[in-house]
Amino acid sequence: MFRSVLPSPADPVYQLSQRVRADTASEKVDLGVGVYRNERGQYHELGALKAAKRILARQDANHDYEVTTGNAGFLANAAKVLFGWEADVISSGRATSVQAISGTGAIHLGALFLARTPAFKGKKVYVGTPAWGNYVPLFNLVGLEVVTYKHYDASTGTVDFTSVLDATRTADEGSIFVLQGCCHNPSGADFSRAQWDELADAMEARKLFPLFDMAYQGLGASLDDDAYGLRLFARRGFELLACQSFSKNFGLYGERVGVLHAVSGDREVAAKVYERLRCLIRWEFSSSPAYGARLVDIVLSNDELRQDWQTELATIQKRLADNRRALYAELVEKREAQGNWGSILSSTGLFCFLPLSPQQCERLAAEFHIHMLQNGRINVAGLSRSNIEHVASALVKVTSSPSSHL
């Protein structure tokens, strides 16, 4: 029977991870998978998280099942991080929050919820490209059709806002727009505040539905600044979904700590939404994982630890910005590299695109042991004071040789 199993598409991120692991060269540089690395290229554990683990150990929490929708205290704190500590959508009871299997699970749960809600029957999902590779399969998996439009202008390293607005003008009423709130994956090209304002006007006029992906809050700017777009839409009275992850901003990648938030028109509708999400969770994975959520809740419930966490996030933001400036200086100011490297400075968060062809990316890996996705996306956290000169030198070599294909 299993001979009938259909072939599956390759996963570029998985393939890259395997290649990195297999490379034992001392000069190896991993600019691939979206994990924050420290100056030594290793996993970085936040001090606030270490403290929370010690506190949890003293509490001697058991391993009983968590509530289906997740611990209420954790969910309340998560909503405050996302919408603001004094947000009206929370105090009015219009926000519904349930735990999910990290950000990916939150998007899947949100997609499943929309696919089973009569008002969205036949509605299409609009995704700006280039995009995170899981969007299309996640929505297709629940039977939703995806339409793509251009989000990123490679010539400027910024958002192609004309394309974004054109998509909103041509989409049918009630269409779903996936919006990355900050630190766009894979481009690092985010909307400005003025663009968020204009986008909200356009989507309100066309009665479009926003689904926010908030995987990187706190890695681009402050927690508040990174949530500007989401909070704007919430204040404007949009019904929306917001998918939150604590993988990146808490370093809890393997613990899969995420939340799906729904903002409804009133408290009564929000109660119905909660019950529907509770059913979907029960039918799909039964109950929420506890360990990582407990750690996040400990930090967010303690004023001192929460401040420590935010201070550590500011340090991470600064290092990512410093890495960008250092790479740009090595390439453009010191080595006068050919090509347009402005995307290094115009991007935010973990990622940016380098103006490289797949052949150049392959050469960087094969000859210089510098690993990145074939589309030129790099994880800026993989750069360090010890490898930036090596990376810049290799980039100049692969972009200036006669065989280069930009």
Catalytic residue numbers?
132, 213, 248
Q: Could you tell me whether strands 152-153 and 158-159 are parallel, antiparallel, or unpaired per DSSP bridges?
A: antiparallel
Side chain identity at residue 167, one-letter code: A
**Type and span of the H or E element at 274:** helix 267-284
**Rounded CA separation 36/33 (Å):** 9
CA distances from 294 to 79, 99, 277, 380 (A): 15, 12, 21, 30
**Rounded CA separation 32/10 (Å):** 16
Q: Where are the beta strands (DSSP E) in 31-175?
A: 95-101, 125-129, 146-150, 152-153, 158-159
Cβ within 8 Å of residue 263, ≥6 positions away: 89, 94, 95, 96, 234, 238, 239, 240, 241, 242
Task: Tell me which DSSP letter residue 160 carries.
Answer: -
**Rounded CA separation 180/124 (Å):** 17
**Rounded CA separation 111/105 (Å):** 10
**Rounded CA separation 264/266 (Å):** 6
**Rounded CA separation 64/290 (Å):** 9
What ranges in 116-227 are assigned the alpha helix state H? 135-141, 161-170, 193-206, 223-226
- CB distance 281 to 68 below 8 Å: yes
- CB distance 254 to 260 below 8 Å: no
Token pair of 240 as six digits: 């929306």
- CB distance 133 to 107 below 8 Å: no
- CB distance 303 to 56 below 8 Å: no
- CB distance 251 to 42 below 8 Å: no
